[in-house]
Amino acid sequence: MLYIIFTPIVLAIIYTVYLVFWLKRQPAGNKTMVAISRAIQEGSSAYLSRQYRTVGIVAVILFIAIALVLNLMSAIGFIIGAGASALAGYIGMSVAVRANAKTAAAAEKGLGNALVLAFRAGSVTGFLVVILGLLSVAAFYLLTGSVAGLIGLSFGASLISIFARLGGGIFTKAADVGADLVGKLELGIPEDDPRNPGTIADNVGDNVGDCAGMAADLFETYAVTLTAAILLGSFTLSGTQLLFPLILGGLAILASTIGNFFVRLGRGGIMTALYKGLIASLAFSAVFFYWASSVYFPEQTWNVFGATLIGLVVTALMVIVTDYYTAKRFRPVRDIAQASESGHGTNIIMGLSVGMEATFVPALIISAGILGAYALMGIYGIALAATAMLSVAGIIVSIDSFGPITDNAGGIAEMSKAPEEVRKVT
């Protein structure tokens, strides 16, 4: 049974290491691109180093407090969760900031090359999240058998998530808005113009907020979901059935690894290429989950599989709704653009209106998913649905990390005065 959990982890580690070495072999562009990329690397490393020093002090204080007030096992779990979350964000961001110039250089050869390179760089972050998340939870629980320790691990991951997501997000928007205010409004120079020093800070923010921040956030959610599922299962289950959420995580990592190979540029454009990978990951996960349900819950196969399938369907529907409200080919974005013709006021009003509207459908989807999973398997069914929903976090984070990498590549292309074709690709 353990091989179902750890074999996909080992395969994903091998694939991730391969991606890192493949990325190292790719050309980094001309001297100007490399110099700009190094400036972004230095800024990103400086931010994370300062952030982790601060978090480290807080973590040590909390470790001592948890050990004294609760127990040593919970304190150890807390440190493991914090360390694994920080490691996922740091390594993922380190790869991303080194891939930006390479993506700009690949754009000179065409959109397909740039897409593959940027997505593979983002996949390193995505797979690190699920690899370290599942490995830390599974190994810690199997070695100690302590559910209390798992709860401590989840809180450790939450500590990093708070600093990385909120701190990184604030830095990102502050740098973005500040650079635009100085450049576009005061000096009248284009976005990502090399004469604007805020441009580097803007690109740093993309990495620390949208890459490292998202990685820490999803790691925390992933670890907490696995912990909650095991905790709820411990009241009624035992043996291999108790470890079923970990099995789902391992199978989903395998499915996401397979899904990565489906990301290829076709007729539909960039988002279609990315969605092909997501759809493939969801489809393979569904097949693997049915097999696992039939093996470990032979008398409740369809109930268990139904709960996991609900989680996968909720993920797919959330992606569809998000795409509808953010893609320029649909009504919401077009309405905001049209409202902007009347001035700032109507732009803000329409933007807020669309934002409020965009929360309604996801709330209905999640509510329906909870009711459906509860009808099939009770509270444990909700835990299984949530586990299945988060199990494909690898491909989701890969797609998300694709954004800051290509955004940085576009900034580097602009600042290095690359040909217009390169800027259009990025």
In one-letter notation, the amino acid at residue 20 is V
Tens digits of per-residue pLDDT, 365-378? 999 999 999 999 89
Per-residue confidence (pLDDT) for residue 290, from 0 to 100: 94
Q: Which residue has the higher pLDDT, 270 or 419?
A: 270
Sign of CA dihedral 334, 336, 340, 346: positive
Sign of CA dihedral 268, 308, 153, 6: negative
Per-residue confidence (pLDDT) for residue 110, from 0 to 100: 81
Closest C-alpha among 33, 15, 32 to residue 23: 15
- Neighbour-count burial for 299-319, b at 16+ CB within 10 Å, e otherwise: ebbebbbbbbbbbbbbbbbbb
3-state secondary structure 173-229: HHHHHHHHHHHHHHHCCCCCCCCCCHHHHHHHHHHHHHHHHHHHHHHHHHHHHHHHH
CA–CA dist 362, 29 (Å, integer): 42
- Section 142-153 average pLDDT: 84
Per-residue confidence (pLDDT) for residue 183, from 0 to 100: 61
Which pTM was predicted? 0.88
CA–CA dist 423, 111 (Å, integer): 11
Binned at pLDDT 50, 70 and 90, residue 185 comes out as: low
Tens digits of per-residue pLDDT, 38-49? 888 888 888 888
Tens digits of per-residue pLDDT, 108-145? 888 888 888 889 988 988 898 899 999 999 988 888 88
Is 90 exceeded by the pLDDT of residue 202? no
Binned at pLDDT 50, 70 and 90, residue 184 comes out as: low
Query: Percentage of residues in the chain with pLDDT exceeding 90?
Result: 30
Tens digits of per-residue pLDDT, 249-293? 999 999 999 999 998 877 767 888 889 999 999 999 999 999 999
Closest C-alpha among 361, 372, 364 to residue 309: 372
Is 80 exceeded by the pLDDT of residue 397? yes
- Domain boundaries, given as residue ranges, for the chain: 2-425
First-to-last C-alpha distance (Å) of the chain? 45
Is 90 exceeded by the pLDDT of residue 218? no
Per-residue confidence (pLDDT) for residue 39, from 0 to 100: 83
DSSP secondary structure string for all residues of 278-324: HHHHHHHHHHHHHHHHHHH-TTSHHHHHHHHHHHHHHHHHHHHHHHH
- Section 155-176 average pLDDT: 83
DSSP SS3 for 163: helix
